[in-house]
A and B are shown apart, each in its own frame.
Chain A
């Protein structure tokens, strides 16, 4: 056994009595660690951790901004779509109304034309009837006077009398026709 160890053992009988050289070396060893960590390495990492937090927060903010924008765009689209639908409905309604108006107008026009045609027809018929009636009256008068002249042997040239006779005759005819009806 080495005498050195024997001496050391005698000195260190109580393990709670600290040997001074170890105290010094312990202090030096700790100061080395503390110095490097406190002066250089931990400030380094703190800076980077802050940067990272900012980056993450920035990213979150960006994402939030994008989301808000997307939301607003979506709402805009929805509003536009609703407006377009509304517009389409309005146009359809308008078209329907216009169509109805047109149909009504056309119907009215058709009605009017029909009435015009009918009226024109009536007028024509009336005119024809009047013309035929007057022509017939003249012919019948002439025939009657001729016939009566021949029968009476006396000319019923006298105009006044002639027309009186004719009228009377025609009136009789008409009365008979009325009675027959």
Chain B
């Protein structure tokens, strides 16, 4: 499926059904943005997703700055909310998977990852922005790579060179003759596929979610003519329902992302993989 750059959003064309124009369906072109600054040909440019990414960072830092800059023993409302989020990740994710003793060191990373991913997902339903930054593969990929590098270096540090290979290949003598095959599969699964799936899981969810939202939003507008108005209503209701659903998926995917991160770290720290 290739993107058709001649297609544009329904809002831009003011095109309705029975007007003789086709349905401006969302597609890959919905995930392309003209650079705000720079040249799309070169690799030096600045576009909407970058703006949203940086803006999101500033919002997260701003929120936690306001909440935790001068924290009180008896917390205010904002601090209490931020503490609840922090505590949820710390206890509910890190301590649960890695354990309190070993996990404490990774709490800042995991907390940052969760709120970063969540914020990037949330852009999907923020008016005007309305684009999940994580539906551009680069953003989930860079996060997955950070986790991947951490995982590999931790495994090396903990188990040494031989231990690393035993760990990533799931070396287990009791497997007998199938051991080489199992080791090969495990190696591919851990070394090559893992960072890919880690990133793509988040990317694909957000990509699909955004496409779905676009579909119903565009349809609501496109159908707004003649008998189509009735269907437009249905489509609009679906837009609202899907928006609520996306709100849930955004938090869930952020949670899944950090949960997997913790599982990988735990696997690296475990004595026997």
Contact = CB atoms under 8 A, between A and B. Distances in A.
A48 B73 contact: yes
A163 B49 CA distance: 170
B109 A38 contact: yes
Interface string B76-113: 00010011001000000000000000000001110111
Interface of B: 2-6, 8, 28-29, 31-35, 40-41, 43-46, 49-50, 53-54, 56-58, 60-61, 64-65, 67-74, 79, 82-83, 86, 107-109, 111-113, 115-116, 136-139, 141-143, 146, 200, 203, 207
A179 interface: no
Interface of A: 1-2, 4-9, 11-13, 15-23, 25-30, 32-34, 36-38, 41-42, 44-45, 47-49, 51-52, 55
Contact of B108 (A13, A22, A32, A34): A34
15 contacts: A4-B40, A5-B34, A5-B40, A9-B29, A12-B3, A12-B28, A15-B207, A18-B141, A20-B138, A22-B53, A25-B50, A25-B54, A30-B57, A33-B116, A37-B108
Given A1-B6, A38-B109, A22 B49 contact: yes
- The B contact surface, by secondary structure, is helix
Contact of B107 (A26, A42, A47): A42
A41 B136 contact: no
Nearest to B141: A18
A41 B28 contact: no
B106 to A, nearest CB: 10
A1 B107 CA distance: 47
A26 B143 contact: yes
B146 A30 contact: yes
A87 B100 CA distance: 61
A16 B54 contact: no
Contacts of A20: 43, 138
Q: Name the residue among B34, B73, B82, B83 with the largest chain A CB count within 10 angstroms.
A: B73
B32 A5 contact: yes
Contacts of A18: 136-138, 141
A36 B53 contact: no
Contact of B142 (A9, A26, A48): A26
Given A2-B34, A26-B138, A41-B69, A9 B108 contact: no
